[in-house]
Amino acid sequence: MKKKDEIKKMLAILDREYPQPKTSLNFKNPLELLVATILSAQCTDERVNQVTAELFQNYRRAEDYAQAPLTALEEDVRPTGFFRNKAKSIKGLGRALVEGHQGRAPETLEELVKLPGVGRKTANVVLGAAFGQPAVVVDTHVGRISRRLGLTAHEDPVKVEFDLMDQLPQDKWTNFGFQMIYHGRKICTSRKPKCEICPLSDLCDFARSK
């Protein structure tokens, strides 16, 4: 685990480098973000945004997803890959929201993760980006960089999430996740991280070990 002064420096650098982090997914309400995040599994945010530009015009309410023929929904999300499973999840999501939440996305992690297709990562994206609640998003970028920085030794995303919650100030949880995603795409890539230009290199266990 990192020392508190190192974490403070790390967060200050991230705030300087990525001052207004947010999800790259386009959305106007929590329902749209739920659907977009489900579609983003094994798919780029850019492709998801291309698909949802039309999808969100045709499906505006949870009821629309719940009542849609599964084959039609499959075709609408086909470009995002794994379209059959995603369409099934989204249709189930719509039905669950209609039947249990008056068609609205719930605002707690416990309720969100009970919805079809919604795991902790998706739930935390929605809590942080749509509802403004403190939430640690752990995707592959966040997990990888957190291990390199020495913030966790775990591979399991849930264990990484809890390690980060233990060490980071709560008011930094949401921003940290999105900042790590930016940083992972720009500098701390999986195969060839650009440690020589990384502003976090002096605080990074991985960079110091090279």
**String of DSSP letters for 10-71:** HHHHHHHHSSS---SS--SSHHHHHHHHHHTTTS-HHHHHHHHHHHHHH--SHHHHHHS-HH
- The string over 68-94, giving b where at least 16 C-beta atoms fall within 10 Å of a residue's C-beta and e elsewhere, is beeeebbebbeebeebeebbebbbbbb
List the catalytic residue out of 139, 166, 186, 194: 139
Task: Note if 8 is an active site residue.
Answer: no
Task: Note if 9 is an active site residue.
Answer: no
List the catalytic residue out of 86, 121, 163, 172: 121
**In which region does residue 42 sit, left (phi positive, over 0), alpha (psi from -120 to 50) or beta (all else)?**
left
Work out the end-to-end distance of the chain between its first and last CA atoms, rounded to an integer number of angstroms.
19
The gap from C-alpha 196 to its chain's centroid, in whole angstroms, comes to 27
Identify whether the C-beta of residue 101 lies closer than 8 Å to the C-beta of residue 31: no
Q: Which residue numbers are catalytic?
A: 121, 139
